[in-house]
Structure 1
Amino acid sequence: MSSPRRTLAVVYDKGAAGPREICSSLTDLADLVFLTVDTAHARSMSPLLAEFGAVLSVEGDAQRTAQLLGAHCPDGIVTFSETALPLTSEVAHALGLPFHSPSTVRLLTDKHAQRSRLRDLLVDPTRSVLLDDASRWREALDRVGLPAVVKPLRGAASRNTLRIDSAADAYQLLANVLAAERNSGALQPVLVVEEFLAGSDTGASGDYVSVESVVCGGTVEHAAITGKLPLIPPFRETGQYWPSGLPSAQQKAVLDLASAAIRALGIDGGITHTEIKLTDRGPRIIEVNGRLGGWISELSNRTGHPDLIRAAGRIALGEQVHCTLFDSDQTFFQHYNLAPLAGGRLESVVGVRDVRRIPGVTAYRQLVRPGTALQPGITTCQLDAVIGRADERDDMHAMIETALRAIQFQFSSPSGDLMRVNGLALRDEVNRRARHELHLKGSTTLV
């Protein structure tokens, strides 16, 4: 006699996994019920989600939402969206379902609270301070030192995240970020000013990694260390790859730090994504995220490693999940071209066929359609993804350079001027110039 079919609730909004990824990984595991929050993205995805399960619009507070979901008798609940973590936790708590506790979610989504907990438990000593008034800039910098990093108390995708290099720039820059947060809807914006972590010399790669972990019943196991490509200023991600290629001693130090941080934050179940800076004094925590990392499911599925979306669903349903650390002689990579900081409009993309013909490139995904208006600001906006596999790390970098030369973007600027650049120019010139202009003009359009 077969076991009764289980029901898994998925709280959906824009995040690390889209509808097709989620559904392809979870539909044979359980009947799906989607809770969609009231955002333009979630509303636009509702018809697609409805092809795979019931769709419930979030109504009112978490208690009302829990009552609405309770009628479907869910056996578990999960989310892949950073912004949906608090709601998911509250609904899970109301229905007695396993998920991050409300106190843990606060530590995962409040950057200052997370820093404080990691300091208090001697996991990571990085200094940080809260700031809601730019006039207090001197006090903040006295506590964290220079250079420093400023970011919103809550946020993702590098939104309004900037570096402060001198006291002369501090007041204006902090005032700009507070104004940008206010303009984006925050009634009482609060910033975190924290110590800048200087990365080691890592050559052509980025000076940080992320650790993808599976936590089940309080046991932490690591699925992968994700190597990173260099950031575009100020802190925008351009790509990642498996495996990281770290030396064994450094790899152990990174994994030990990730494990300690996960335990310190009280995470006893789910998938985590821990970003770690590689410094000359050893690895340091950038931040711990209580959900799947962006584009990580593509890597896990393409490499044949266990499906991490499915792992998240299984943990939510109370199953035991185990994993081993990914390793391979080949390098599996993703590279993202990013929108100009100055915004404008994407008019055309040329050279896609040439990119797809590059040996080792296995896919090209266009993420923004021509004709799309691009908002100015420093939030990471990916135009596309170049996906491939290389036998050697140097081969990966060469493939990416070849792809960047082949792909051509045409933008119209906010003033109406046309600009045509390849991926190299977009990476090396346009973004630097736009960042410089935003900083000098004191623009508040930073998001």
Structure 2
Amino acid sequence: MKKLIVVYDKGAVNPLDAYTGLSAIAQPVFAVAPSEHGERVLNVVERLGETVVLGSSASESADRLRGFTPAGIVTFSEDMVEPTAELARHLGLPYHQEPTLGCLKDKHLQRLRLRERGVDATVTRRIRTRADVAAAMAAIDAPVILKPARGGASRDTHVITAPDQGAQLVDAILDRYLPAGLVIEELLGGRWMPAGVGDYISIESAVVDGRITHLAVTGKFALAAPFREVGQFWPALLDEDVRRASLDLATAGLTALDVRQGVTHTEIKLTPDGPRIIEINGRLGGHIHELAQRTGVPSPIEIAGTIALGEDPAPSMFSPPPGVYWQYNTPAPRRPARLAANAHGATVTALEGVSQYTPYYQKGDPLDLNVMTNPLDVISGHSKTHEEMLQQVDRLLDHVVYRLDMDGTEFAVAARELVAI
């Protein structure tokens, strides 16, 4: 059986799902990042199959991986897209190439490419010094968004209304994002959506030799302030004309970036004037595999692996399932905290519509403050209609209760309160 390198770190797919999704087509060889998360899951990964901990350089790691005679390479982690590309180059394996890679990883370069090719006109400016803020805000009507040029999970993403406010934020966070720096771009306003439904969607796509097939259009729950994602559902709640326009925009975006292969994740804002691209990512979206498993459609992990092996899985658009399949993520607080106790699993799964509760933290764990979107769990469910889904999710917000330790004081807090903390 062919061997497929899976470059692993925290991301869209956990090790067991990666192994399950790929083992029918290849023997996975896990190349694990030397990160805190990588070290934490290393024992699990080593039980699944052959494992290499990545070294201090791509050439050193490639030398160790070359002995497995790999036929392909893939990652499901946003942070590992660039290291995967470097490993692929050393090993002579197909993956995202420059300048496509640069556009997928650098939000400023991506905006410039989309604008140059007439796909999306969102205005952007790169910020590498405090002085850049005033010039950027003179060119873009306030309010604007300030965010890292390279980053994910809504990390250090802020709405800015005045140059002085922007300059203060830049002083506080710029150093950790150099040399790429930050970007300031126009804030896209959303169209009206029913209460609880987000004004953005995501599109998963498979690209084989430049041929683009869109697999699924996923709806989102309304963001928790300021930009915390709290879950998604399939199929999305969209009029057919908006759905078609969004798919066409995703096609144009992937074409503009010259994406040639792989599974991609495109986030699209639904504005009063039509869909606009938020960003295009060169890997599978988070938790999409779990939705696919429950709905019985082909595994997007297997599709990604097949493409990485240089083969054509002949993908097609997933058929929408009966009803609505959803995932809710209880957001962690934005203040420093330690987990004292998870929600009671039996209580959560007894709630109407809920099929599974998976906590992400263990008792005593400090909650990660390095990202904005930082879920405590994923709660999976199924509803007959979108309206029923929204009612079920609203009820669970009062019944999913965590115990947190903040500043030495332990207290119980429900999911509804965590949305506001």
Question: How many positions carry a matched residue from both structures?
Answer: 419
327, 334, 341: which is aligned to 2:320?
327
Structure 2 counterpart of 1:144: 140
Cα distance between partner residues in 2 of 1:89 and 1:392: 41
Two-structure CA RMSD over aligned residues (Å): 1.6
2:306 is paired with a residue of what secondary structure?
A: helix
Deviation at 1:64, TM superposition (A): 2.8
Helix, strand or coil at the partner of 2:41: helix
Contact 2:150 2:180 in 1 (8 A): no
Q: Matches of 1:267 and 1:314 in 2, distance apart?
A: 16
Distance 2:360 2:91 in 1: 37
Structure 1 residues 311, 360: closer, same or farther in 2, change over 3 A?
same
| Candidates 178, 181, 194, aligned match of 1:190 | 181
Distance in 1 (alpha carbons) for counterparts of 2:110 and 2:179: 20
Q: Give 1:250's match in structure 2, choosing from 236, 242, 254.
A: 242
1:49 equivalenced with 2:41 (yes/no): no
Give the superposition deviation at 1:25. Answer: 1.1
Task: Tell me if 1:291 matches 2:283.
Answer: yes
Alignment of 1:231-310 (within 5 A): 231-310=223-302
Q: Is the 8 A contact 2:368 2:374 kept in 1?
A: no
Alignment-mate amino acid for residue 189 of structure 2: A
The equivalences for 1:19-418 within 5 A come to: 19-178=15-174, 182=176, 186=177, 188=179, 190-204=181-195, 205-321=197-313, 322-376=315-369, 379-413=372-406, 415-418=407-410
C-alpha displacement of 1:187: 5.5
Structure 2 Cα separation of the partners of residues 365 and 43 of structure 1: 21
Q: Which amino acid aligns with 2:192?
A: D
- How much has 1:350 moved relative to structure 2? 4.3
Shift in Å, 1:189: 6.3
Between the aligned partners of 2:212 and 2:178, the Cα distance in structure 1 is 38
Moved more, 87-96 or 268-277: 87-96
The one-character-per-residue Cα deviations of 1:176-222 (angstroms, maximum 9, x if unpaired) are 332xx53xxx5646101111001111122000000011111211011
Q: Secondary structure at the match of 2:190?
A: coil
- 1:90–1:102 Cα contact (<8 Å) kept: no
Give the counterpart letter for 1:357 in structure 2.
A
Q: Contact 1:346–1:411 at 8 Å: present in 2 too?
A: yes
Q: Does 1:422 align with 2:418?
A: no
Q: Deviations over 1:104-133 (max 9, x none)?
A: 111111110011100000110001011122
* Distance in structure 1 (CA, Å) of the matches to 2:113 and 2:99: 12
| Structure 1 residue 351 displacement after superposition | 4.6
**CA–CA separation in structure 1 for the residues paired with 2:59 and 2:292:** 35
Distance 1:357 1:199 in 2: 35
Alpha-carbon separation, structure 1, partners of 2:397 and 2:362: 18
Match of residue 445 from structure 1: none
Deviation at 1:343, TM superposition (A): 1.8
Amino acid at match of 2:327: Q
Q: Distance in 2 between matches of 1:320 and 1:188?
A: 38
Task: Quote the offset at 1:407 in angstroms.
Answer: 1.6
TM-score (norm 1): 0.90
Q: Distance in 1 between matches of 2:369 and 2:68?
A: 42
**SS of equivalent to 1:102:** coil
What TM-score, normalized by structure 2, do the two folds share? 0.95
Q: Aligned-pair distance for 1:143? A: 1.8
Give the superposition deviation at 1:289.
0.3
> In structure 2, what is the Cα distance between the partners aligned to 1:380 and 1:293?
14
For structure 1, the residue ranges without an aligned partner over 5 or more in a row are 431-447
Q: State the distance in 2 between where 1:241 and 1:326 align.
A: 14
Contact conserved, 1:360 with 1:388, CA < 8 A, in 2? yes
Shift of residue 378, structure 1, vs aligned partner: 5.2
Q: Which amino acid aligns with 1:370?
A: K
Once the two structures are TM-superposed, the CA of residue 95 in structure 1 deviates from its matched residue by 2.4
Query: Mean Cα displacement is larger for which, 118-127 or 415-424?
Result: 415-424
In the alignment, the residues of structure 2 paired with residue 377 and residue 35 of structure 1 have an alpha-carbon distance, to the nearest angstrom, of 24
Question: Greater shift after overlay, 404-413 or 374-383?
Answer: 374-383
1:171: how far off?
A: 2.2
Aligned residues of 2:120 and 2:276 also touching (Cα < 8 A): yes
Distance in 1 (alpha carbons) for counterparts of 2:69 and 2:224: 46
Counterpart code for 2:18: I
Q: Secondary structure at the match of 1:149?
A: strand
Q: Quote the Cα distance in structure 1 between the aligned partners of 2:27 and 2:350.
A: 40
Question: Unpaired runs of 5+ in structure 2?
Answer: none
Write the distance in 2 (CA, Å) between the matches of 1:202 and 1:11.
38
- Percent sequence identity over matched residues? 37
Q: Deviation digits for residues 300-355 of structure 1, max 9, x if unmatched?
A: 11111110001111111122121224323411000011111012112223453232
2:13 aligns with: 17
CA distance in 2, matches of 1:406, 1:192: 39
The corresponding residue for 1:436 is: none
User: Which has the higher mean CA deviation after the structures are superposed, 385-394 or 137-146?
Assistant: 137-146
Could you report, residue by residue, the CA deviation over 1:83-108 in whole angstroms, capped at 9, with x for unpaired residues?
11112112212322121113211111
Alpha carbons of structure 1 residues 147 and 55: separation in structure 2 relative to 1, 3 Å: same
